Amino acid sequence: MRGGVIRCAANAFAESTTMRLMILNGPNLNLLGVREPHIYGTTTLASIKASCEDFARFAGAQLSFHQSNNEGVLVDLIQSAREQADAIIINPAGYSFTSIAMLDALKMFEGPIFEVHISNIHARDELHRHSKLSSAVKAVVAGLGPYGYIVAMQAALQAAGTLPESLPAPIRLGPR
């Protein structure tokens, strides 16, 4: 993990395993819970953020959570993740289907990237079906509603081996 802090633990020096997660949300997701509840549900983005912060606290991870309606701002945030995050979780929303600039920026990030969609984009109309960004990510979570953000956080921490030991083996390690 980049940027780890060296700390003393039980007479041994160990690198801190604090995982830095950056969650990015694209255009219009600030309106979640307010419009089109039949597709995107009634949960607001503020509530998703609070829930992600709760899970990060439980897991001992660092979290930064952002939303922007501006493609350039999202590109800048993805670039900043090169120094400031170990993994990216991104719901690119409408930019999933259009943004070569975000695809190029994501390709320059060295850590794992998890793409989240609240709805199952594969069951949507032609316009909302094919994400241009998926080729640059490790995994796509789609159709689990807002819980998809927590699943993506869990997957990022699991891949890094930093899920809390208090969790049962199937969650921490999966099938052996």
* Active-site residue (options: 40, 95, 128, 149): 40
Residue among 101 and 160 whose Cβ is closer to ligand CA2? 101
Residue among 62 and 119 whose Cβ is closer to ligand CA2? 119
- Alpha-helical runs (H) found in 63-117: 71-84, 100-107
Does the active-site annotation cover 117? Answer: yes
Distance from the Cα of residue 67 to its chain's centroid: 12
Q: How far is the CB of 31 from ligand CA2 (least distance, A)?
A: 4
Q: How far is the CB of 76 from ligand CA2 (least distance, A)?
A: 20
* Active-site residue (options: 38, 66, 117, 147): 117
Dihedral over alpha carbons 28, 33, 35, 36 (to 10 degrees)? 100
Q: At what angle do helices 45-59 and 147-159 cross, to 10 degrees?
A: 30
* Interface contacts to ligand CA2, rule CB under 6 A: 28-29, 31-32, 35-36, 40, 91, 93-94, 96, 117-119, 121, 124, 128
Does the active-site annotation cover 130? Answer: no
**96: which 2 tokens?**
């999933």
Q: How far is the CB of 84 from ligand CA2 (least distance, A)?
A: 23
Residue among 20 and 128 whose Cβ is closer to ligand CA2? 128
d(CA 129, CA 143): 12
**55: which 2 tokens?**
């899970």
HSE-CB for 130 with a 13 A CA cutoff? 4
Which residues are catalytic, by number? 40, 117
